[in-house]
Amino acid sequence: SKATVSVLNWRGLQATLLHPAIHIHTMPAREAVTASDLFLEDIENLALNPRVQKYATLRTTKEAQQAKTHWKRNIHPAGQTREGDWEDAKETTLGVKGAWDEARRCLKCADAPCQKSCPTSIDIKSFISAIANHNNYGAAQMILSDNPVGFSCGMICPVSNLCVGGCNLAASDAGAINISGLQDFAVSHFKQMNIPAVRNPELPPADQMHASYHTKVYCVGSGPAGLSCATFLARMGYDNVEILEKLPYAGGLSASEIPQYRLTDEAVQWEVEKVKEIGVKVTLNAEYGAGQYKTADLLKAGGAVFVGCGLPTPNVDAVFAGLTQGNGFYTSKDFLPKATASSKPSCACSTGGQRMQMNGKVLVLGAGDTAFDCCGSAFRCGAKRVIVCFRRSTADMRAVEEETILARNEKAEFLPYCQPKAVVRDPTTGKITGCVMYKMERDDDGNWFRDEDQTLTVKCDYIVSAFGSMLGHSLTDELAPYVDMKWGKVSVDEKMRTKTAGVFAGGDCVGSGLTVEAANDGKTAAWAIHEYLQAKHNPTVPVPKEAKLPKFHTEVDAIDISVDFCGMKFPNPFGLASAPPATTLPMIARGFEQGWGFAVTKTFSLDKDIVTNVAPRIVRGSTSGAHYGPHQGSFMNIELITEKTCAYWCSGIRQLKHDYPKHIVIASIMSAHNKEDWQELTKLAVESGADALELNLSCPHGMGEKGMGLACGQKPELVRDICGWVKEVCPIPFFAKMTPNITEICDIVQAALDGGATGVTAINTVSGLQHIKMDGAAWPRVGSSRLTTYGGVSGNAIRPMALKMVSSIANKFPNCPILATGGADSADSVIQFLYAGAAVVQASSSIQNQDFTIVQDWISGLKWHLYAQTRPDLIQWEKQIPPPDAGKALTTGVPPRFGKYLRNRHAETAAAKKAALEKGLVGRHADPQPAPAPTHRVPKVNDLIGKALPTIGSFKNLLGMAPHNQAVAAVNDDLCINCGKCMMTCNDTGYQAIRFDADTHQPFITDSCTGCTLCVSVCPVPDCITMVDRNAATRPEAPEYHPHRGIPLGQPQVPVGAKVKLAV
C-alpha cells in the first residue's frame, strides 16, 4: 500500500502477534506521488466500515448457522459447571450504563403504583429519579429510610409480583422498569462510600430523652423483621434495644438460608452494621426463652418484646420418616445452612469450615422460592443434575419468575404432577438411589388429587425436601402463654400486636414469608411498640395518630448548604425560575414546602401592559429524539409574561414573605423603555416586601414587538438607562436578566453594571424554531391558519451556552454577582454552574420534566458533594461513581464475550472456582473497614463559586501545549462490547487510527491517533475508552504527536496525473 501509516503501538503489536491478519506498515521513504495518492486510505482500517448496500445479501444457510454460533452472546453456563461458583447470577444486576439508561426510562408517575405495591412503601419513583441524576447517595437514603434491609431486598425481592407488577410502563411496549436492579445498584454504591449511619439529628441528646425511651425492648431474631423493628425504634430515640440471635452469626434466614449467588453475605452483614451504628445491641448465641431472656421477666420490668424469628422446624412428609443426611436426605433447613456456610464467611463457623459437597443427581421436592434456592445451591455444591419435582403444573409453581428463569438457564429439570410415595435405598449402604412418585391429576373443579394407579420411579443420589416449615417447640412453649397460634403461626392484629400487651410479632412466624414483608412487619411493630411504651410510661404526651417514623440519616445530612449572596441568606442555591413553575402564588408556596430555597415570580408588568397567551405554547423539544416522558433534552415555549395583575403579585409576595420568612422571594418585572413605568413597577415590588428584583430584559418572543424584553436587552444603552432608573428608587438588590440572543453578552453586562445593577441573571431562553412537521407546518401552530413564531428554547440543550456565558461574565467581571439559569437538571449540573461563577441557580425545565420534589434529590446531591471534598477516597468520584482503576485503562489481550470466547471464559471460570475450592478460598471477603476520617473541613457552597474559572479561557492559552502534553485513546478490552462505534466514527469523521479485528471485533488504536476524543464520546460503555497521556510508556514507537500534513509544508500542490518527487 502506498498509504502513509504509522507503526502500531505496543498494544497493536501484541494484537498483530495474536491476529496474523493484521500487518505492520512502516513509513515509506519519500517517493514520487500523484494527486490520486492523496486519496489512498488504509484498506485494513476500512475493511469493516459500514457501506451502502447495493444488492441483496446472499450466503448459504450453513454460513449463517456458523456465524450465529460464532457471535452468540446469550450463552448461560450450565448448572453442572457451577461448582464453587457463588458469584452473582441474577439477571437483574445492572452496571453503570445499564442503571443510568434504565433509570431515565422511569416516568415518576403520580400516585405511583410501584410504591403502592411495595410492602415497605419505598419512594421508588424518587430514588430512581435520583439515580438518573447521578445521586446514588440520595437514592440509597430514600431506600433505607423506608426499608432498613433495602440492600437485601434489592437483590432478592420478587418484584415481578410487587413493584414491577404495578409499573405503568408494563402497559407500554417499552416494558416495566427493572426496579430491583436499580435498588441494588444504588445501595451497593452507597455501601462503597463507607458513610456510617447516625442517630436522628432531630432528637435531643440521649440523656435529655424521657425515661420511657430507656425502656428495654427485645427483638427476637436478627433477620429482616428484627433488624427493621430495632432500626426504627432506635431512630425514634430508644436506646435500650437489643436483638437476640440464637445462631453464632447475625442476619437470620437472609444469612443462613438464602444462597450467596442471590444475596451476598457482605450485604446482610452491612445491614447488621447499620443498625449497630445507631446504638442497637446485637447479642449472638442468645436463645429467647432460655436463661435471662424470658418474656415474663421483661414484661414485669415494663418493657416490650418483638418476636421476629423465622420458622426453624421443617415440615417433613411421612414418606421420609427415619431418613438422615447420611442416607442422602436433607430438608431445606438442613441443606441451605450447610450450602450457605460453604460460601458465606459469617456462616462458616456453624460448620467448622467444612464445605457442603454433593455429586450425581439431586431431587428437590417443592415449587416455592426455597425449593429453587436448593436447586441452585445443589449445582454449586457439585451436583451434576438437579430435578425439581412438584405436585402441580409448571404454570402453578409458587416460585417467582426471577427464581425459575435462573433455574431454566442453568439447565435444571422440572418434573410436574408428582408426589412422593416411597424412597428407594441401596440395601447394603442405606443410601438413597431413587424416589417412587404418584402422578397427580386434577378434577373438573380444579382440585388436585393423586392417582394411585400411576407411579414412576426417579433415580437420584440425594433428596432435598422443601415443603415449608414451622415454629420450633422451645419457642412455641415460651410464647404459648402470651400469644394465640393458628396454623402453626403467631396470630397478630394489623399493628402486629398479640393478645398480650407488650408482646408483638412479625415476619415468618406470623406468615409474612417475603423479606420485604418481614421488614414491613418490623417497621409497623416499631410504631406500635412506641405507642405502647409511651402510653404506659409517658401518658401525658400524646402520640400522633399518624405515624411519623424518622428517616435514615448520616453526617452528610447535617451539612449546611446555605448561600450568602448580596446581603441575603439563601437556605440553599436552588430556586424556581420566572417561568411555568412560578405561574401562581400557591405554586411558589408548594415549591417552598418541598424545599426550594428561593423563587423568582413570573414576570409581571403594569396593568396597561397586561397580556393574554396563545395556545398551544409549551412544546416538547425536538432535541430529545425518540425519547418521551421525563428527561426531555429541551422544551420550547411561546408563552408570554404572567396573565395576572401587578396587584395579584404584590399582594402575594407580601403573603409569601409572611408565611416563609426564611425563603428568598425575587420579584420579576418588565416594562418598555420608559422611566416612569420602570420606577413605578420598582416601587410597587419593593413595597410588597420582595427581597430583590429581577429586571426581565430578555424575553425572546412576543414582548419584543411591544418594545419590552428582548427589545430592551439587546442594546447596551437601553440596558444602562433602565438599570439607572431602577437604581434611583430601589433600595434592595436587583439583577438584570441577560439574553443569550446577542453577539457578546459581556457588553450588556457592562451596561447593566454601569447603570447600577447589583448583578445579573444569565441566561434566558435561546430563540429558536423547534420543529417543522412533514406537512410543512411548524409546531407549535396556533389557530386555523397554523401560524407559529420563534420561541424560547430551554432545558439541557442550552446548558453549554449558559455555562459559557456565566463563566465569561464571571471571568471578565470577578465581583459581579450572578444568578444562573438555563439547563440545570441535577445537583451535578448546579455544581457546574457554581464552579462557573454563579452563586444560586434557577430551574424550570427540570421541574416541567418531573415535579417540585426533585429539589430533595438536588439537596442531598449537593450535600454529598461537599462531604466528598473532606475525604480523599471520595473526592475523585465522578457522578457518584468511583473512578476506574487507572491500571486497567490499558487492559489488553482479554477475549470478547461471545461464541467460543465466551465458552472459554466460562470454562476458565469453572476451573478457577474448582481450584479455589480445593484451596479453601471460596467465600472469603475483606472485613469491613471503618469509614475514613475526614482530612479537610466541609466547604461552604460559597467556596465552590468560581472554582473552575482559572481553567477556562481563550484558545490561545492551549496553543502553547502543542505538540507536547497530548493525549491518546486507550481501550479496556475487558469492558469493550465490540460494537465498533469507535472505529466507525474514527474512520468517517476522524483520523482512521483504529483497527478492528474481523474475528474478535476488538478495536486496536494505532499510533496515528491524534487524541481527538471522538471514540470516547461515542463509546456506549462508561470508562471503556479513556484518554491517557501520550508518552514513551503509552506510545513507545511514537511518544510525541506530529501531525500528518498530507503534502509537507512548503511543498507545492500536486498536479492531476503528474508524478512529483517530494523534497525530504
Active site residues: 699
DSSP codes, 385-451: EEEEE-SS-GGG--S-HHHHHHHHHTT-EEE-SEEEEEEEE-TTT--EEEEEEEEEEE-TTS-EEEE
Specify whether the CB–CB gap between 487 and 471 falls below 8 A: no
d(CA 825, CA 844) in angstroms, rounded, equals 9
Closest CA to 277 of 527, 559, 556, 552: 552
Specify whether the CB–CB gap between 455 and 438 falls below 8 A: yes
Q: Is 546 exposed, middle or buried (0-12, 13-18, 19+ CB in 10 A)?
A: exposed
Strands (E), 877-1017: 967-971, 994-996, 1003-1005
- CB atoms under 10 Å from CB of 297, counted, come to 11
- Between the alpha carbon of residue 612 and those of residues 352, 616, 636, 640, 702, the distances in Å are 80, 13, 18, 8, 11
Examine residue 763 and say whether the peptide bond preceding it is cis (omega within 30 degrees of 0): yes
Closest CA to 90 of 405, 347, 365: 405
DSSP codes, 36-79: GGGG---HHHHTTS-----S-----HHHHHHHHHHH---PPPPG
Residue owning grid cell 439529628? 201
DSSP codes, 249-300: SSSHHHHHTS-TTTS-HHHHHHHHHHHHHTT-EEESS--TTSTT--HHHHHH
d(CA 926, CA 915) in angstroms, rounded, equals 20
Q: Is 602 exposed, middle or buried (0-12, 13-18, 19+ CB in 10 A)?
A: buried
Pairing of strands 664-669, 759-762: unpaired
Q: What 8-state DSSP symbol labels residue 58?
A: -
d(CA 786, CA 808) in angstroms, rounded, equals 40
Specify whether the CB–CB gap between 516 and 120 falls below 8 A: yes
- CB atoms under 10 Å from CB of 964, counted, come to 11
The DSSP element (H or E) to which 132 belongs, if any, is: helix 124-132
Tell me what percent of the chain is helix, strand and coil, each rounded to the nearest 5: 40, 15, 45
Examine residue 337 and say whether the peptide bond preceding it is cis (omega within 30 degrees of 0): no
Length reported for the chain: 1064
Q: What angle do CA 589, 592, 594 make, to 5 degrees?
A: 115
Q: What 8-state DSSP symbol labels residue 673?
A: S
d(CA 304, CA 437) in angstroms, rounded, equals 49
